[in-house]
Amino acid sequence: MQSMASWKIFINPERCIGCHACEMACEQTHGGASNIKVQCAPVFCRHCEVPPCITVCYRNAIEMRNGKILLIKDLCTNCGICIFACPFGAIMTTTITRRIEPKEKAHRDVPLLSRLFGGKIFPKERQIVLVHKCDGCVERAEAGVARPACAATCPSGAIECKDIAQASSSKRIRTYEVHLVTHLTHREGTSL
């Protein structure tokens, strides 16, 4: 089994057949919310060497560990700022509904209430927009499984797990990296 530090996920968009298997595999591995979005090829966290998301996170809720960029749920406030810092749009959101417990309901002004809630006085539920992103399938790695779910499932071999040393020597990968950086953000360090 490769240790987490040494591998990186690479996507070859020309191989993508748009089947959505990666989204489904990711979703099943991560409690029902996919960290991948297929837009003509799968988009997910590139685990950049100089990550914009870490730069903007005011809570230090994103950190680099073993070459992977991890969002720490316990520290994350779901503010959504990092979503717009990521040039790839790789940070995802999922809206969930959570119940509001009766004993927690506080006093409210009536006029505003009837305007907001159409006559219902105490809202029973609220929507939360959860922020999440690829974690390099940390749990699978810890369980001794070599590949992340997306790479394991991809039927066409568009998502590959490569040793970093092996990958950086590949001419094609370098070309993608340079082109993408120039086109989108003019920033160095954000990597493909």
35 contributes a contact to another protein by CB under 8 A: no
DSSP 50: S
**How many of the chain's residues bind another protein (CB under 8 A)?**
70
User: What are the CA-CA distances from residue 140 to residues 4, 43, 163 (Å)?
Assistant: 10, 20, 17
> Binding mask 60-89 vs another protein (x if CB under 8 A, - otherwise)?
-----------------xxxxx-xxxxxxx
> Binding mask 122-141 vs another protein (x if CB under 8 A, - otherwise)?
-x-xx-xx------------
3-class secondary structure, 133: coil
Write the burial class of residue 9 (CB in 10 Å: 0-12 exposed, 13-18 middle, 19+ buried). Answer: buried
CB 69 within 8 A of CB 51: yes
User: Which among 1-9, 55-63, 66-74, 162-170 is the span making contact with another protein, rule CB under 8 A?
Assistant: 55-63
Which residue of 4, 33, 138, 152 would you call a contact of another protein, by CB under 8 A? 152
Q: Please measure the distance between the N-terminal and C-terminal CA atoms of the chain and give it in whole angstroms.
A: 23
184 contributes a contact to another protein by CB under 8 A: yes
The H or E element that residue 43 is part of is strand 42-43
146 contributes a contact to another protein by CB under 8 A: yes
User: What are the CA-CA distances from residue 70 to residues 75, 87, 174, 182 (Å)?
Assistant: 11, 17, 24, 25
CB 126 within 8 A of CB 98: yes
Residues engaged in binding another protein (CB under 8 A): 13-15, 17-21, 24-25, 27-28, 37, 39-41, 43, 52, 55-56, 58-59, 77-81, 83-90, 100-101, 104-109, 111-113, 116, 123, 125-126, 128-129, 145-147, 149, 152-157, 176, 179-180, 183-187
